[in-house]
Amino acid sequence: MGGVEPNPGSAGAAEPALTVAAVARRLGIAPATLRTWDRRYGLGPSDHASGRHRRYDGDDVARLEQMQRALLRGASPAEAARYALTAQPDDLPAPPEPVARVLRLPGASVPAGYARGFARAVLAMDSAAAQRLLGEAIAVGGVPHAWDDVVRPVLAAVTHRWAHTPDAAIETEHLLYECVLAALIRATPLVTEPCNPRPVLLAGAPGEQHTLPLYGLVATLAARGVGTRMLGPALPVDALVAAIRRLAPAVVVVWAQMPARVEARIRHRRTRLFLGGPGWRGRTPDLALADGMESAASEIVGVVR
């Protein structure tokens, strides 16, 4: 009933068995995909009696979940299936760490498979998988390396696709932004006793909506015990000037992805101004993030300490 029945092969028939349709709903994939995985890789019901409908027990479903996680990390179907079939039942709840194709890029601290899996999840508009993968990448390499090795290349690819493909879905870019923002906020520790008596103030230039790098900087600085004040995107100049007067920050970071101009009013003799992003007309930005999130954070830390 409802796609579940007691498994006759289990002791006391305590463990329910699931139909193909029920497992497909649980994994969020098509029943035809399950049948393909069974036919090609042997990832089918382990206790299939002739003449009966196919039923999956708990271990069968766990292996399928492992295959799905490995695919999201960038493994090929054959590699993911090989891992799922060879893993011991006690190991199944934990996702596979490297998988054969999860290789490290030169100089990267987060396996390259995370970027591939993250990109696939974003293009599929699977926000839960995207946030899970990005959270794991942050746990593996920290915010700076997760930004440099996962977020930045996927952001660049999605932005390029949107700019050069007439029918590219802008909703994909919006979902990407929201997933990254949520992951960065979760990864930002609360700094109750900052090492800097005067805070770091961060804001988007007037009209600037793309401020994800600032949230990455906030998380990276917080991990070093640096206190910040994030004022978000598209801050009017008058509001930024008022905040500088009220807070007397040691550093002000203003981010511009789109074309912007420097307002003389935001300069203050006791405050170091960093212009971030490629949008500043007629000058090279102080924080382009071309050398990495860690390098940008180190420049700011060098001022406040």
Question: pLDDT higher for 127 or 166?
Answer: 127
Give the amino acid at 232: G
Strand segments (E) across 146-271: 200-204, 228-230, 251-255
Note the pLDDT tens digit of each residue in 52-91. Answer: 567 888 888 888 888 877 766 666 677 778 888 886 555 4
Same fold, 4-91 and 112-186: no
Token representation of residue 23: 């497992």
Indicate whether 167 pLDDT > 80: no
What sign for the dihedral angle of Cα 39, 41, 45, 50?
positive
Rg, the chain, Cα only? 24
Pick 4-91's CATH classification: 3.40.50.150, 3.40.50.10420, 1.10.1660.10, 2.60.40.1190.
1.10.1660.10
What sign for the dihedral angle of Cα 226, 231, 235, 241?
negative
Q: How many residues does the chain have?
A: 305
Residues 6+ apart with CB under 8 A from 227: 191, 194, 195, 196, 199, 200
What H or E segment, with its residue span, contains residue 6? strand 4-6
Q: How many CA atoms lie within 13 A of 133 on its CB side?
A: 33
| Residue 106 confidence class, pLDDT cut points 50, 70, 90 | very low
CATH code of domain 112-186: 1.10.1240.10
What's the whole-number average pLDDT of the chain? Answer: 79
Partnered with residue 17 across adjacent β-strands are 5
What does DSSP say about strands 16-18 and 4-6: parallel, antiparallel, or unpaired? antiparallel
Task: Please tell me the predicted confidence (pLDDT) of residue 25.
Answer: 75
DSSP state of 105: P
Domain locations in the chain?
A: 4-91, 112-186, 200-304
| Homologous superfamily of the 200-304 domain (CATH) | Cobalamin-binding domain (3.40.50.280)
Round to whole Å and give the CA distance between 45 and 142. Answer: 39
State the residue for tokens 């139909």.
19
Buried b (16+ CB within 10 A) or exposed e, 250-275: bbbbbbbbeebebeeebeeeebbbbb
Global model pTM greater than 0.75: no
Indicate whether 222 pLDDT > 90: yes
Token representation of residue 271: 């405050």
Q: What is the mean pLDDT of residues 116-126?
A: 86
Task: Please tell me the predicted confidence (pLDDT) of residue 151.
Answer: 93
Indicate whether 14 pLDDT > 70: no
